[in-house]
Amino acid sequence: MTSRDATTHWEGGLQSGKGTVSLDSSNAGEFPVSFPTRAGDDPEGQTSPEELIAAAHSACLSMSLANVLETAGHTPRTLDVSAEVTLGADRGGGFRISGIAITARGQVDGLDDEQFAEYARTAEKGCPVSKALAGTTITVEAALD
């Protein structure tokens, strides 16, 4: 099976340290990370594990939704899928990913909003990233443009 990899180089402690995430398989870039920007309201131009999960989830769900639609005989003209990953406090201490809100918009001929939303929910269940994140509450809101 196919695998992809990334590496994070970290220097220092949690609060004062910083790191760089490298997307090794694609060589698409290196991105700075730090805990204060991860846990704070302003990312200050840095990414976070949650943003990287959101990117993976939105890309995966876009592909899954395109497949579900096409399999049902509806080729989408456009799909725009966003994922909002929330970092929250864990009851046992520390942090956890407390939720993922998916928003899907599309232009698909021959469908109404209710049908599109049902296809989006089906796609979410089949998305490999959704399956990997099964312990997290994931909501899906979908509508045609």
Domain shared by 57 and 87, yes or no: yes
DSSP state string for 43-97: -TT---HHHHHHHHHHHHHHHHHHHHHHHTT---SEEEEEEEEEEEE-TTSSEEE
pLDDT in tens, the chain (145 residues): 899 999 999 999 999 999 999 999 999 999 999 999 999 999 999 999 999 999 999 999 999 999 999 999 999 999 999 999 999 999 999 999 999 999 999 999 999 999 999 999 999 999 999 999 998 999 999 999 9
| Residue 113: strand, helix, or coil | helix
Report how far residue 79's alpha carbon sits from residue 144's, in angstroms, rounded to the nearest whole number: 9
Query: For residue 10, what are the β-bridge partners?
Result: 19
- Number of domains into which the chain is organized: 2
Looking at this protein, which amino acid is placed at residue 11? E
The answer to whether the CB of 37 falls within 8 A of the CB of 71 is: no
CATH code for the domain in which residue 139 is found: 3.30.300.20
Report how far residue 61's alpha carbon sits from residue 31's, in angstroms, rounded to the nearest whole number: 23
Domain shared by 53 and 81, yes or no: yes
pTM over 0.75: yes
Domain shared by 65 and 135, yes or no: yes
